[in-house]
Structure 1
Amino acid sequence: MTLQSISDQVWLLPGAVASVVIEDGVGGAVLVDTGLDDAQARKLLRGLEAKGLRPSAVLNTHSHADHHGGNAFILAKFPELPVFAPPLEAAVINHPVLEPLALYGAMPPAELQNKFLLAPASPAQPLAAGQQTVGGVELELLNVPGHAAQMYAVRVGEVLYAADALFGAEALAKHPLTFCADSAAQKASAELLGALSGIRRVLVGHGVPTEDLVALVTTNLNAYQQTSERVHAALAQGAAGVDTVLARVAGGLSLQMAAMGPLLLNRAVVAAHLAEWLHKGAVKAEIHENELVFSLC
């Protein structure tokens, strides 16, 4: 698959996870998100070579393995290449076991130590949000936490790479419990992006480019709110712990989870939306017979 032209400065490598290439105008390019593994990284470097470009920096929008798993392959070819990420996410990229550790709540068992949750480590440097020059490229980094504890969207002129703050409609349908660390922040970040002006092309980490930012934001906000409502409805069936709430929500979606990884990812989503309801005062949490139980207020 070849790089697709988005603007005179921005290229897209589509895939299960998108990678974005931003030219510096003098033969260099910043690589934004390198994909899950070596396969995506190889395609990315081949695409650069075909355009006569050389990488000048790597920018990871957040620390999920599918967005930085290709770093190691690229750094093996270009060992002096700097890697940047939001500060908290940079810590995880340097110490990737933190991702499955957080999901499992303890050192992860072997089943969780796979490329989908445990990418190779790479030496990411923390980078602040705002107007930045990265690898010779001037860009704007927008704080869009929620899907991850920290995450940046990247704006270059009229092009916005929303990373995983927004998803394409097909991705939302495939994963109805859209992953988040903070569901309230996830919604606020989508609203922030929807308020941007002057955006002519929107790229997402999972999905196809679009010119209609407002419609994309609306679709995502509706999906996020549906998850909140499903979690609330699950508690209407009676007080329950996180795992029972997840089972009720999954049952309503006819969702079958046959592996530990998907189950824990979806469990985290439910926990995030429960925390949002707790903050709103619509749900309460109590300890009952040594179990943390949630119920409607």
Structure 2
Amino acid sequence: MVEIVRIPALSDNYIWLVHDAASGETMVVDPAEAEPVLAEAEARGWRITQIWNTHWHPDHTGGNAAIKAATGCRVTAPAAEAAKIPTLDRAVAEGDRVSLGAIEAVVMEVPAHTAGHIAYHLPSEELIFVGDTLFAMGCGRLFEGDAAQMHGNLQRLAALPPETAVYCAHEYTLANGRFALTVEPNNAALRERMAAVEAARAAGEATVPTTIALERATNPFMRASSAEELAQRRQAKDIFRG
């Protein structure tokens, strides 16, 4: 079992600090900045040995250099974006395996938000780090890819075991849910989830991780029947101000 700590950063980012007690290794997923990560690890007596990046955007890699300088950790990141991640030590692609102690993650290529975006699936832990591909009731903007890619990504993620915990990188759930209700206003599971989300946010609580089962039931992008339908929903979400 790994221990995972959520570290808020910037305006709405989450950095994930992941500790394997058996090996003593600690890994950071998508460090937007270094200071809160180093402080959290020090407070817990954890030694950071690795960084795993899902994509090149600065709000996911901005802490790489300082954390690496402070700890000597190794950085794993997508091979397709190696030129944009100068701190990279190991470039990985579809099907590659990375390890935290004895715990193994399988790399999944999920391009669309960025051209080389990847996710890290840890089957033994029943969890996945998805960066900005899948959000609670949402998906990433199509900056460097297209709707067909994102539709394929989400259908592939939907095929994971329903109990799989999904660790995304932003607290977008409230806005995503408000948009989702415009798409499926009669979705009872969605309405129930939104009530819980509104209560959590009002109390200052985080709403992620989510699960594949929850997203299957309430995420309008994962529930899109085609790439064309996803494209329409993504375009509508991009201008949504609800």
Cross-structure match for 2:163: 199
Which structure: larger Rg?
1
SS in structure 2 at match of 1:228: helix
Distance 2:143 2:85 in 1: 18
2:25 maps to which of 25, 28, 42:
28
Q: Counterparts of 1:1-297 in structure 2 under 5 Å?
A: 8-15=2-9, 16-24=12-20, 25-35=22-32, 40-78=33-71, 80-94=72-86, 122-130=87-95, 132-134=97-99, 136=101, 137-156=103-122, 157-169=125-137, 178-183=141-146, 184-197=148-161, 199-207=163-171, 208-216=207-215, 218-221=219-222, 228-229=231-232, 253=239
Query: CA RMSD, aligned part only?
Result: 3.1
Higher normalized strand content (fraction of residues): 2
Deviation digits for residues 118-167 of structure 1 (CA, Å, limit 9, x no counterpart): xxxx2443123335234534222222111111122122221222211112
Alignment gaps of 5+ in structure 1: 1-6, 95-121, 233-248, 256-297
Distance 1:28 1:212 in 2: 25
TM-score by length of 2: 0.68
Alignment gaps of 5+ in structure 2: 172-206
Cross-structure match for 1:293: none
SS in structure 1 at match of 2:60: helix
- Is 1:23–1:29's contact at 8 Å kept on the other side of the alignment? yes
TM-score by length of 1: 0.56
Q: 1:142/1:253 Cα in 2 relative to 1: closer, same or farther (>3 Å)? A: closer
State the identity as a percent.
26
Distance 2:96 2:163 in 1: 16
Deviation digits for residues 20-74 of structure 1 (CA, Å, limit 9, x no counterpart): 2222323221111111xxxx32111111112221111111111111110111221
SS in structure 2 at match of 1:14: strand
Cross-structure match for 1:116: none
